[in-house]
Amino acid sequence: MIYILRSSKRSQKENLEKVSVLDAIVILNKLDYVDFKVNRFYVLGADTPEELNQLLSNFVKEYFIKETQTFDRYLVNEKISKRNRVSSNRARHLSILRFKDKIQKAINNGATISFNFYDNDFDIIVLVEEQKLKIKCSYKLEVNNGYVYDVKTSDFVDIQKNNKIIKIVNEVFRKQRYYYRGKELVDISEV
């Protein structure tokens, strides 16, 4: 869980929220000019260092200003525009979550899909026909590995039997990759 403090610039009013990493990413990404006009936002840390690293790795380094060296207290930099907040050269978590419906439509078996996000990659967990598939993917929308776990027998199953689902996920990602290829940010100091 991530702790986000909203402090009013006009009064002493403060609001502390405890949210999941994914919700924190959504909240911090949606902040706009009006929000920063009346409030200051702080990230006061997380339950585990991995959660904090996961949050910080999704944004550019300049978006968070570390205020104290001893504690994890970060001021959210209001000068960073919305389009320059997210770390470049990777798909956003919200974009990846939108693939859920596309993957479910392509599978057509009443599959249940969930996601686990990590620093360098993410997992797509697909539960279909008493089998659980874990598909490891990079943020460049490339499928790296696939694992299958049979729920009934509590044993691993050959991935070749479910290669069709892996191909479907890869096809959905392939269609979206063109969007991210040209999204690398140019460093202004080099220009």
Q: Taking a C-beta distance cutoff of 8 angstroms, is the pair 128, 108 a contact? A: no
* Number of domains composing the chain: 2
- 37-61 pLDDT, tens digit per residue, is 999 999 998 999 888 888 888 788 8
User: pTM to 2 decimals?
Assistant: 0.52
- 6-29 pLDDT, tens digit per residue, is 999 999 999 999 999 889 988 998
Q: Taking a C-beta distance cutoff of 8 angstroms, is the pair 102, 53 a contact? A: no
Statement to judge: residues 79 and 97 lie in one domain: no
Neighbours of 59 (CB within 10 A): 19
Please give the Cα distance from 80 to 9 (Å, whole number): 18
Statement to judge: residues 97 and 177 lie in one domain: yes
Statement to judge: residues 108 and 60 lie in one domain: no
**Which residue, of 56, 84, 112, is where some domain finishes?**
84
Statement to judge: residues 74 and 148 lie in one domain: no
Statement to judge: residues 104 and 169 lie in one domain: yes
Considering the domain boundaries, does residue 187 fall inside one? no
At position 123, the amino acid (one-letter code) is: D
**Which residue, of 84, 103, 120, is where some domain finishes?**
84
Statement to judge: residues 62 and 105 lie in one domain: no
pLDDT at residue 46 in the model = 92
The residue range of the domain holding 101 is 93-181
Statement to judge: residues 7 and 36 lie in one domain: yes
**Which residue, of 65, 84, 103, is where some domain finishes?**
84
Please give the Cα distance from 152 to 48 (Å, whole number): 33
At position 3, the amino acid (one-letter code) is: Y
Mean pLDDT, residues 159-176: 78
Statement to judge: residues 107 and 175 lie in one domain: yes
Token pair 């993410």 in the structure block, residue: 122
Residue 138 phi/psi, 5-degree rounding, is -90, 165
Pick from 139, 129, 116: which is nearest to 164 by CA? 129
At position 44, the amino acid (one-letter code) is: L
